[in-house]
Amino acid sequence: MLGTGILKGMVETARNFVGSYTDEARLTTVEYPEERIPLKEATRQFPFLVFDGDDAQKGMRCVACQICEKECPPQCIFIVKSKDKRTDYKGQLQFYPATFDIDISVCMSCQICVEVCPFESIKMDTEFELSNTDRFGALLLNKHQLAKSNEHYREIHPTDAAESDAVIAAEKAKAEAKAKADIEAKAKAAAEAKAKAELPAATVPVPPASGQV
C-alpha cells in the first residue's frame, strides 16, 4: 500500500525518540558538570610527579635524570638538577629536581615521558578541567603543582599503580639485601683482620739469623 514505508519509518522514529528519554542504555549524555561519567582507567591527560609519604617534595621519586626531558617530542619538560643529594626510597643518595616544569599547553599527552622514566616517577593524570584565561603562566606547571601522591595514582590507575608498587617493592628488597650483604662482608673482613692481629707471636714464623743455614 502506498505510504506504508513512510508510516513504518515514522513509527520507528517515534519509538527511538521515546526510547532516547526512557531507555537507560540509550541515555548517552549526562547533565555535566553536575553529573559525571566515571573515567575509564586508561584515561590520560597530562603527566604528574609521584611522591611517597606525607611530604610532596621530600618524597618525590624523581631523581632529575632528565631522560624524560630529552625524550619528550615537543620538548615541553624543563628540569634543573639539584646541587646536593638526598636519600631516595631505596636508601640511596640521589639528586632531585630543583626545578621541574611542564608546559601543558604544548604537551601532547603521548606518555613517552612515562614510558622512559626508570624510577616510576612520572605518570599520566586524568584531570581535564584545566582551561584557563592565562595561556602562558597558568599552563606552565611547576614541581609543586605537578606533585601528586601515590595514593592518587592508585585511585586513578589501580592496575598500573599495583605494577608500579611491585617494581618498587622488588627494587627496595634488592637494595636492602645488597646493603645487608655489604654489612656482613665488612663485619667478616673486620673479624678476620682482628683475629690475624691477635695471633700469638710464637705462631709467627721466625726468619733464620744471617749466616745460619
Residues in the site for ligand SF4, rule: CB under 6 A? 47, 62-68, 72-74, 76-77, 79, 102, 107-113, 116-117, 119, 121-122
Q: Compare residues 20 and 75 and give the one whose CB is closer to ligand SF4.
A: 75
| CA–CA distance, 112 with 134 (Å, rounded to integer) | 26
- Minimum distance from residue 94 beta carbon to ligand SF4 (Å): 9
Q: Compare residues 19 and 74 and give the one whose CB is closer to ligand SF4.
A: 74
Position of cell 700469638? 200
Sheet of strand 47-51, all strands in order from the earlier edge strand to the far edge: 122-124, 47-51, 147-149
Q: Compare residues 33 and 118 and give the one whose CB is closer to ligand SF4.
A: 118
Q: Compare residues 113 and 147 and give the one whose CB is closer to ligand SF4.
A: 113
Q: Compare residues 80 and 173 and give the one whose CB is closer to ligand SF4.
A: 80
Omega cis (within 30) before 33: yes
| CA–CA distance, 126 with 130 (Å, rounded to integer) | 11
- Minimum distance from residue 71 beta carbon to ligand SF4 (Å): 6
- β-pairing, 97-103 vs 140-141, is antiparallel
Tell me which DSSP letter residue 61 carries. Answer: -
| CA–CA distance, 120 with 49 (Å, rounded to integer) | 9
Which triple of cell numbers denotes residue 112?
613517552
- Minimum distance from residue 50 beta carbon to ligand SF4 (Å): 9
Across-strand partners of 123? Answer: 48
- Minimum distance from residue 159 beta carbon to ligand SF4 (Å): 19
- Minimum distance from residue 98 beta carbon to ligand SF4 (Å): 12
